[in-house]
A and B are shown apart, each in its own frame.
Chain A
Amino acid sequence: MLKTFLIGIKDLRIAFRDRAALIFMLAAPFALTLGMGLVTGRFNGGSSGLSNIPVVIVNLDHEQLGNTLVELFNSEDLADLVEPTSSADPEAARLLVDDDDAAAAIIIPEGFTRSVIPQAGEQATEAKIEVYANPSRPTSAGVIKAIVDEFISRVDEGSVSGQVSIVKLLRSGRITPQEAQAAGTELTQRLNNDPLDGALAIKLNASTADGEALKFDILAYLAPGMALMFLMYTVSYGGRSILTEKAQGTLPRLLVSPTNSMQILGGKVFGIFLTGAAQMLILIGATTLFFNLKWGDSWGVIVLVLAAVFGATGWGMLITALARTPAQVGSIGSAIMLIFGIMGGSFISIENMPAAVQTFSKITPNAWALNGFTTLGLGGTLADLSTPITALLTMGSILFLASVVLFGKKNLVQK
């Protein structure tokens, strides 16, 4: 284990002493992010890049909460971001989404307000807001869903918690049904006076610790896109080092030291992983520092970076296992870097690509990680990243196992 660690640290040190590699690992993604930020107007107050998202709202509730959500989507705060239209028919709204005329349909069911704030003597019934998302516009649909989720979250926090507490007290026998009715009436009156405790202040994302409202930043999409694309370069560079060590004689030398081949291979993988993680974290730090970019929930960012690097490392190992020479790894790695970059949404949002490409993008770590970073950029947290993280870890594990099998078939020490 210690030798595996030491080999990984050695590889990290060597990678960061290679000027050419540093240009690709750090300077190029940083410069491209800067360039694309300039092109999209990010640095001169331009839009976020995501704007006028068409959304259909069907308000069957027609009471406080339903109306508040409609008002929220029509508010000044979201004027640039969304383009809401109203419909009375849920099916018609879904059809608009199916026809790709809207990114999502929000269907507020009848009795939604009463499900949250039951009137005196009424039994609370379950009524959930439906977000009918357009699968070909995952980012835009994600934005709409994030707004609705945030709305529901605020409703839950502000009112339902109180109601649940009453129900719990009632079930535990600590208050009588009469007392519960009185408490419920009081709660209803309070909510009627101030239905959402300032819900109209809801922004696209949650607030930062210092209370500053977050808005979706196009760089929160571009920067991870570039970083992920060049992460593929880093993992192929790391993979190439296995064959380079074979060619320069250090791999055979390691193999005649009291170090077994699994420790060596594990060390090489660990080195690739460390280098990739260091690259991503440096880029995240640099863009935060120089572009004032908010990447979102810190734990989410860290875990997502590690998962993304793990998935990408799997690809780096597979490329190395398939190639015969360091030059081949370089060529294949560069090609895959560009293909995955394009298909994975580093340049153009995946939702604007044909369905076949969107399907293909699922094999790229770029697409999954970018999905995760977008979620974080929209105010999501680690808890919202289960799908991309699971996909990335599964991808990395499968590719790593395949690489081990391929490495086993070709004797690395034979010149």
Chain B
Amino acid sequence: MSSILQVQNLIKKYDDFTAVKGITFDIKEGEIFSLLGPNGAGKTTTISMLSTLYAPTSGDATIAGHSITKEPMKVRNAIGVVPQDLALYEDLTARENLMFWGQMYGLSGSSLKNRVNEVLGQIGLVDKAKDRVKTYSGGMKRRVNIGVGLLHKPKVLFMDEPTVGIDPQSRRAILDTVKDLNKQGMTVLYTTHYMEEAEELSSRVGIIDHGELIAIGTQKELTKQVGEAETLVLHIGENEDPAALAAAFKGIKEVLEANVIGHEISVITPSAKDVLAAVVTKANERGIKIHSIDIREPNLEAVFLHLTGRALRD
């Protein structure tokens, strides 16, 4: 499969602060590529540069063969953008919004009307098309927000954390929409800080932190970085001292890592079952009450934890 998007050493600086520190990656035509990272990692800045909203400080990228720095108008015709925050006219109806944005992408006449009807069907809002957007629920607004990005049938769709702040049902609908679009051949660049979304959707994942792309590959390739290790997650009381307990866990022979995330301690180990008794004993010795214990298979969260020493939600 050929690359439809190639990023070369992209850098964005704001005075003394470097938001994106020379990232390089490519996206194959027809794949869903996720940029996974915590808030402030540089995901939105990266998408803003790729969508030609912000000029990069240095570096370049090509999308569908067009440079974002030299041919921004051609790039804009090739991409669809679903921004993180809702970007709609709330005093207009869903149909009016879609008509207006379609016109901004050069659609007109019957092709515009037909496409708007198609998109309304795609986002499941045919019945509500004549209602003003301000009367919609958060999930419905999100769907219109996505619909705007689909109007001109872009070659690459950028989706910047499209599920932030919405109910589980709407989230499910959005994830299904993304998968449907991908089945129809659309290439998607999806940013998220939810590990589960990246795992469910992505062909490949790039993990970004502090403006650097620290790992890239398929989920299988990435989880290999933490070996076959499992993660034991202990939830302890709010008044307990998790740092001291995590330090004690590191003394257990089979424990590879022990990290504190709030009132949880993540213990990475080749076999959770084998260290479980030792972990509970250490807690009892310190009089710390364990509320619950989860055992997790190797996942992207563990990869991020392994690479950064922090949890994605930190």
Contacts and interface: CB of A to CB of B under 8 A. Distances in A.
A binds B: yes
Interface of A: 2-3, 6, 10, 13-14, 17-18, 248-250, 252-260, 413
Contact of A6 (B48, B73, B100): B100
B33 interface: no
B81 A253 contact: yes
Interface residues of B, number: 28
A305 B87 CA distance: 34
Contact of A3 (B76, B79, B104, B132): B104
A256 B92 contact: no
B54 interface: yes
Contact of B103 (A6, A13, A255, A256): A6
A255 B48 CA distance: 11
24 contacts: A2-B103, A3-B103, A6-B103, A10-B89, A10-B100, A13-B96, A14-B89, A14-B92, A17-B91, A248-B86, A248-B88, A248-B90, A252-B53, A253-B87, A253-B101, A255-B52, A256-B52, A256-B79, A256-B81, A257-B104, A257-B105, A258-B77, A258-B104, A413-B54
Contacts of A255: 52-53
B105 A258 contact: yes
B20 interface: no
A59 B87 CA distance: 73
Interface string B69-108: 0000100110101010111111110001000110111100
A39 to B, nearest CB: 36
A257 B91 contact: no
Contact of B76 (A6, A13, A18, A256): A256
Nearest to B108: A2
Contacts of B89: 10, 14, 250
Contacts of B101: 253, 257
Given A256-B53, A258-B105, A250 B87 contact: yes
A256 B51 contact: yes
Contact of A10 (B73, B92, B105): B92
Contact of B83 (A3, A17, A249, A258): A249
A13 B90 CA distance: 12
Contact of B104 (A14, A17, A259, A413): A259
Given A6-B104, A253-B148, A256-B53, A14 B85 contact: no
A407 to B, nearest CB: 17
A3 B100 CA distance: 10
A258 B103 contact: no
Contacts of B92: 10, 13-14, 17
**Residue from B87, B104, B148 having most chain A Cβ neighbours under 10 A:** B104
Contacts of B85: 248-249
A61 to B, nearest CB: 66
Contacts of B51: 256
A53 B90 CA distance: 54
A18 B134 CA distance: 12
A138 B246 CA distance: 87
Contacts of A3: 103-104
Contacts of A249: 83, 85-87
Contacts of B132: 17
A252 B104 contact: no
A371 to B, nearest CB: 36
B91 A258 contact: no
Contact of A253 (B79, B83, B103, B106): B83
Contacts of A260: 73
A268 to B, nearest CB: 13
A17 to B, nearest CB: 5
A10 B102 CA distance: 13
A112 B205 CA distance: 96
Contacts of B106: 258
B258 to A, nearest CB: 39
Interface in B238-258: none
B222 to A, nearest CB: 30
A258 B73 contact: yes
Given A18-B91, A252-B83, A252-B87, A258 B148 contact: no
Contacts of A258: 73, 76-77, 104-106
A269 B85 CA distance: 25
